[in-house]
Amino acid sequence: MEECCCRENGSFSLWCILGLILIVGSSHIAHAQDSPTDFVNTHNLAREAIVWNITDLVWDNKIAAFAQNYANQRKDCKVTPSDSGGRYGENIAVSPGNMSGVEAVNLWVAENPHYNSYENKCEGGECSHYTQVVWSRSLRVGCAKVKCDNRGTFISCNYYPAGNIPGETPFP
Ligand SMILES: *[C@@H]1O[C@H](CO)[C@@H](O)[C@H](O)[C@H]1NC(C)=O
Ligand SMILES: *[C@@H]1O[C@H](CO)[C@@H](O)[C@H](O)[C@H]1NC(C)=O
């Protein structure tokens, strides 16, 4: 399809040039692994591993702005929860180095073996970041990354509706 437009009249059209800029731009973002798509896709891979027709998370700019505003206040790299008044669920990851968004989400997903789905509780370690990632009634997500003053990385994602509701299970 792209070929058809680029070869219009046998010469490169303006669309073709715009297309190249978009391709270069998006491949740069894909490499960085910090884009909204990177965050969302990494979540949805973990969700779809549970059941194929689980609802995908979608990116929400308003939630991302909340996450960024809070991350900007966490350049101390402290793992301190924000206060959304219970509106949003939240996952936080910090690293002493330069961690990508994909790596942060995968840290949360790696808690999967600690979640006992039969008894709906964590066993042998933390699992609540994982259960928020796959919480089927959380539908929207926004994430942010900042470089800390100590050169580490602070990454947080917020979720709406909030997951990890006591007495409920993450799965549909
Ligand atoms: C997913 O599929 C199962 C059957 O495979 C069905 O029972 C369930 O209602 C579906 N859930 C959604 C959210 O579509
Ligand atoms: C930090 O990692 C991101 C990918 O998450 C990359 O785009 C960026 O160039 C890295 N920065 C440095 C200083 O290495």
Chunk the chain into consecutive blocks of 10 residues (it has 172) and report each block's average pLDDT, rounded to whole numbers: 38 41 42 92 97 94 98 98 96 97 98 97 98 98 98 98 96 89
pLDDT value of residue 31: 60
pLDDT value of residue 155: 98
Residues touching ligand 1 (Cβ under 6 Å) are 53, 172
What does each C-alpha distance from 138 to 3, 58, 105, 114, 159 come to in angstroms? 40, 10, 15, 20, 6
Write out the two tokens for 14: 């303006």
Atom of ligand 2 nearest to the CA of 34: 5
Query: Among all ligands shown, which has an atom nearest to the Cα of 29?
Result: 2
- What is the CB neighbour count within 10 angstroms for residue 122? 15
pLDDT value of residue 4: 37
pLDDT value of residue 172: 86
pLDDT value of residue 7: 39
| Residue 22 beta carbon below 6 angstroms from any ligand 2 atom | no
21 C-alpha to center of ligand 2: Å?
Answer: 21
Residue nearest to atom 14 of ligand 2 (CA): 98
